[in-house]
Amino acid sequence: MQLLAEPRNDGHVRISSDALEQNARLLEGVLEDFGVKGEIIHVRPGPVVTLYELEPAPGIKSSRVIGLADDIARSMSAIAARVAVIPGKNAIGIELPNQRRETVYLRELVAAQDFERTKARLALCLGKTIGGEPVIVDLARTPHMLVAGTTGSGKSVSINTMILSLLYRLTPEQCRLIMIDPKMLELSVYDGIPHLLTPVVTDPKKAVVALKWTVREMEDRYKKMSKLGVRNIEGFTPASRRPRKRARASAARSRPASTARPASRCSRPRNSTWRRCRSSSSSSTRWPT
């Protein structure tokens, strides 16, 4: 925590209520010029964008307002505008970028109670919502994540924030990483940390080998979880201890099926004893040794 930069007081840019009200009335006028009547019922300022909730007049189609996104941005002298229906409300959300962006510091996010109290095993700090609340997601629930954007839009900052979120909460025994950096610039700062399974991979050929190893490891874990009857890694750790105990106890009672004696050599004074012998032998092959 001490290594992270502290938020600056001048970094928090607060838009006055008068300015928000003026922008809301201006936006209503722009929409009316395009034949869309309605009222801005709520304004939610955020660190980067401000959300204006438009309640359209009866008979106004949402698709008509959504199709005016580029015209709204041009008329409001904004770089871009996002327009979408707000789920669960009779309102359409219009997001416009702020003239001055507020910098979101990682120290704020990791110090937030939402991050400290989260039950996510692989918690990632992504940023803040429009309302200023921290955005915390679980990597285990979002395994297929793609970070995309134009040059200078903050892709590397986003990836570094995710990596630092994992390193802050998890020890090397809890989390291991394989980093692939063909550009040899972005992830080189992490070379040497104890969380790495291998040094940062920069050679494309070695990257293919690393990915193939990851696939084999994943498939091996799937097979082990299938044998133990669990569906995820959370249930694998406690379940993996029980089979080994059963296997040792079973081996003490009988031999595995591959080394069991033929039926002709097995003494069976009674049928019930023979049934127990066969059941014990088969059960010992169900669990890994």
How far apart, in whole angstroms, are the C-alpha atoms of residue 45 and residue 64? 25
192 in a labelled binding site = no
Structure tokens at 163: 């990596």
Whole-angstrom CA distances from 93 to 46, 71, 259 are 14, 15, 70
Buried b (16+ CB within 10 A) or exposed e, 54-91: bebeeebeeeebeebbeebbebbeeeebebeeeeeeeb
205 in a labelled binding site = no
35 in a labelled binding site = no
How far apart, in whole angstroms, are the C-alpha atoms of residue 129 and residue 137? 12
152 in a labelled binding site = yes
Phi and psi dihedrals of 112, rounded to 5? Answer: -70, 150
How far apart, in whole angstroms, are the C-alpha atoms of residue 156 and residue 47? 19
131 in a labelled binding site = no
The single-letter code of the amino acid at 271 is: N
77 in a labelled binding site = no
38 in a labelled binding site = no
151 in a labelled binding site = yes
Task: Point out the annotated binding site.
Answer: 149-156
Task: Point out the annotated binding site for ATP.
Answer: 149-156
